[in-house]
Amino acid sequence: MIDPCELPFGCTVAGRCRPYLRRILTNGGAATYFDGKQTRELEHNRAVHRAIVRLPWPLCMFQPHHIALRTYDGDVSQHISTAKPMSDRLYKLWQMEQAIDDFLHEAEPSDTVVVMEI
Q: Which of 96, 95, 97, 76 is nearest to 86 (CA)?
A: 76
Mean pLDDT of the region 93-117: 92
Tens of pLDDT, residue by residue over 61-78, are 666 678 899 999 988 877
> What is the domain partition of the chain in residue ranges?
11-117
Q: Helix, strand, or coil here: 44? A: strand
Helix 18-27 to helix 96-103 angle, to the nearest 10 degrees?
130
Query: Is 50's pLDDT higher than 70?
Result: no
More confident position, 116 or 79: 116
Give the predicted TM-score (pTM) of the model.
0.79
Backbone angles phi, psi at 20, to 5 degrees: -65, -40
Mean pLDDT of the region 98-115: 94
